[in-house]
């Protein structure tokens, strides 16, 4: 078993488990924080983005990120139906009233970034 160390702390922050080497554990809130920073910096370049409000897309990116980590080995075509159904119940959706059709491309973008699926398809 790999050695880990506790990082974080403070009110409401139980800390994160990191491998002794110092990188965040994949799928942890800390790993999401790095992904969140990526999308915050890059979302405006995406063809489906309308306007400058990152918060409109953030829940969709997180949903796609988490789905990609959770459903390793499954393709987008295999999982999209389940993701569509789950979007209405997604805990980090907040007050975002967006329908699946409004967030689908952002979810797919994050999914692809985690799984590498579109990159793999493009090489075929």
102 or 15, greater pLDDT: 102
pLDDT tier at 1, thresholds 50, 70, 90: very low
pLDDT tens digits along 53-62: 999 999 999 9
Beta bridge partners of 6: 17
- What is the residue extent of each domain of the chain? 26-123
Q: What is the mean pLDDT of the chain?
A: 77
pLDDT tens digits along 65-120: 999 999 989 999 999 999 999 998 898 887 777 899 999 999 999 999 999 877 55
Q: Let me know: does 3 contact 9? Beta carbons within 8 Å.
A: no
pLDDT at 29: 64
The pTM (predicted TM-score) of the whole model is 0.73
Which residue matches tokens 């999308």? Answer: 39
What lies within 8 Å, CB to CB, of 110 at 6+ separation is 35, 39, 60, 61, 62, 63, 64, 65, 68
């Amino acid at each position: 078993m790999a050695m880990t160390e506790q990082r974080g702390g403070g009110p409401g922050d139980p800390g994160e488990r990191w491998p002794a080497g110092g990188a965040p554990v994949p799928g942890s809130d800390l790993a999401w924080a790095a992904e969140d920073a990526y999308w915050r910096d890059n979302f405006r370049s995406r063809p489906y983005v309308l306007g400058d409000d990152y918060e409109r897309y953030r829940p969709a990116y997180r949903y796609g990120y988490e789905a990609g980590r959770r459903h390793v080995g499954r393709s987008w075509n295999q999982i999209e139906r389940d993701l569509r159904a789950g979007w209405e119940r997604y805990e980090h959706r907040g007050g975002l009233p967006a329908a699946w059709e409004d967030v689908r491309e952002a979810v797919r973008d994050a999914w692809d970034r985690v799984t590498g699926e579109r990159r793999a398809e493009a090489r075929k």
